[in-house]
Chains A and B, each alone.
Chain A
Amino acid sequence: MFNELISFLNENFQTLFIISVFPGLSFVLGFVIFAVWYQRKYLARLMIRMGPVHCGGRLGWLQLIADALKLITKELIFPKAANKFLFVFASIMLPVIPAAMIALIPFAPGLVIYNASGLSLLIFFAISTLFPVIGVIRGWAANNKFTIIGAFRNIYLDIAGEIPVFLSSVGVMVWAGTYDLNEIVLRQQGMWFVIPQFLGFIVFFLGLLAMVEKVPFDIPTAETELIYGPNTEYSGAMFLNMMEADYVNLLAWTLLMITLYFGGYNGPTIFADPVVNGVFWLILKLLVAITIIFTIMISYARLRIDQAVRMGWNYLLPLSILNLLLTLVLKYLLVGGVWG
């Protein structure tokens, strides 16, 4: 029995490593820890202050781990009128969904958790539609006025953001002629798709900010109005899950943006091993992307929900359709056909 387990582990070492260490579970959790630390330190610099300095020396790198330990040991508080099952269910499911989306992203040639036989981009979007559903369940289950308002805002914003995001990535699908993310990356070896798909990229990026609920689109969790939006009633480890879900969602969508528009893991050869080289370039692009998103977070005010929804339907949606039409015309003129 024990020997069988050992031999199973040995035979499937690579698969297990990919799932559990990189780019699987450990990487995702490590990114959350890093991103929270990086956000706090980076924003602190822009705000003329120090950020966390008490745990882990001047750099404060232990701060999030200390916070997490504190939150895990705290009592779970359930509101009197909450639906307890859905309340807990939503807090467990919410980080899982964006983590499942990451499984489809190619990190290097051949390094992908789930190889979806040519349909990975469509499956990515299919999974992503579950996120707002769980987001609404968490707000409804808590049975609090602030959470229910946050949940409704979540629906408005996700519908206004997701359709332009999907339509602008249809432009990439048409240009590349494939649904497969790995194939899309391979076709960007000559030129990143951000150049032929610039209009689509602008729409995608604004929609992405709405999907990850960062300023100027942090409307569902608007602190000054709704305390913490749908997450208001969560405490202890469940609160930790909610925070983790935010950052895993950020990771998933940023990785998709890099894969679709910035050449994914492509880059000049620095390391001889193509896997190491691919991972290096992907992580570097990821850092640049989250730095830009954090800078935007601090530079702009929050839109009102009506302004955000109007922007989604009146500007982003027509622009994404225009981008799709332009892509079709351009491809027809250059290649002589829209397929392939």
Chain B
Amino acid sequence: MSTGLKGYSPFGEIEELGDGLFRLNIGPQHPISGQGRFIVITDGERVFDIEMDIGYSHRGIEKILEYKTFVQGIVPVERMVMLDTSNILMGYVGAIERVLGIEPPPRANYIRTIVMEINRILSHLYALGLLSEAAAWNPAVFLWTTADREPFLDLLEMLTGARWSYSFFVPGGVRADIPNGFIDRLRKTLDWFEKRIEVYEEAWIYNELFRMRTEGMGVVSRQQAIDWGLAGPNLRASGVPYDTRKNEPYAAYGELDFRIVTHNAGDSYARGWARVEEMKVSVDIIRQALDNLPEGPVKTRMPPRPKPGEALFRVETGRGEMNVYIVSDGKDKPYRIKISPASFRNFFTIEMLPKTQEVLLADVPVLIYSFDPWFLDADR
């Protein structure tokens, strides 16, 4: 099949590849692409290769952090993923605490856990909305999930004073204690939210057409998931029971009892399903943390300068495990910070899929959003 297209590309690329194949630029100006570009080699319906083009939103956050004191660095580091700020910030703050050699008080750890799990719910809700929109749900489910984020955003505003970027965790604890009435309101919201999850399962996860679009599509086997370095719910949907919250506990996760969600299929449906199940686990974790909330201070004194040294901190963000590596030369600013985000690894799995199985052009958006990638996270 020849398309008979005349070559015209603002990027000056060779358009015709022979055998009726051509390059399709999905992005950076496309309804699904976000802040990046997917170069798709296709014959019109079948996809033979996907090439990722990231870096459109690179802000040099790692370099910026070298010119900020430890506390000043909180604000730029949160800008990696605005949906998931407290989980991202936990990685940075945790690494600083290790290099400073301080431990936050237990109450601060529990408050951190509550905030991070609420944030995980917010992040997964948004991911599910985008996945449903990619499978052409007209934006119905996306708007439902967006509306259901509001009660949680209000709660976090009550606790931290901000809806999105809280800057709530500081080295040595959290900025403020829980206000009056917060716990009751949170419990009520959780009861309401459990009913909402049932609605999503009814309308969406068990929907026949949604299953037709996602089941058996974009399969990543257990071994491939390990080899390609997949992270987060995507890894667990391929049947690998790895969760940093369990394997290398931080905050209060070591003292709480929760399960790791795994699914054996490893397809797009399993990845969507895993996120719904993880929201249920998050609700459970928040309930336990509220029940066991210890009394005491929420902040310890932070020494002005660390000793020269280095520290690594792993954190399970909404998109998977993020590693933060800090090298300190004894000044009040880090010598070097290396952040290895989860989205970067998840993105490049998309490149591998057309090489191992048949992918159609209509599958590309579902494929992309089943991995819940975040360009700003990968670009940093």
Contacts and interface: CB of A to CB of B under 8 A. Distances in A.
A202 to B, nearest CB: 16
B30 A227 contact: yes
Contacts of A148: 3, 5, 44
B8 interface: yes
Contact of A149 (B6, B44, B138): B44
Interface string A295-335: 00111111111110000000000000000000000000000
Given A48-B147, A143-B5, A298-B140, A305 B362 contact: yes
Interface residues of A, number: 33
Contact of B365 (A80, A225, A298, A303): A225
A218 interface: yes
Interface centre among A80, A225, A299, A307, by most B CB within 10 Å?
A: A225
Contacts of A149: 24, 44-45, 361
B139 A47 contact: yes
Interface in A141-191: 143, 145-146, 148-149, 152
A6 interface: no
Interface stretch (B76-84, B185-193, B204-212, B219-227): B204-212
Size bracket of the B interface: 35 or more
Contacts of B139: 47
B31 A224 contact: yes
B159 interface: no
Interface centre among B133, B134, B138, B212, by most A CB within 10 Å?
A: B138
B126 interface: no
B138 A298 contact: yes
Contacts of A47: 139-140, 143-144
Contacts of A223: 31, 136
Interface centre among A81, A224, A300, by most B CB within 10 Å?
A: A224
Interface in A7-55: 43, 46-49
Interface of A: 43, 46-49, 80-81, 143, 145-146, 148-149, 152, 215-216, 218-219, 222-225, 227, 297-307
25 contacts: A47-B139, A47-B143, A48-B147, A80-B8, A143-B6, A145-B22, A148-B3, A149-B24, A152-B45, A216-B136, A218-B136, A219-B362, A222-B136, A223-B31, A224-B32, A225-B32, A225-B365, A301-B135, A301-B210, A302-B213, A303-B213, A304-B213, A304-B360, A305-B360, A306-B360
Interface of B: 3, 5-6, 8, 22, 24, 30-32, 44-45, 132-140, 143-144, 147, 203, 207, 209-210, 212-213, 360-365
Given A152-B44, A224-B32, 5 more contacts: A46-B140, A222-B362, A300-B210, A304-B360, A307-B212
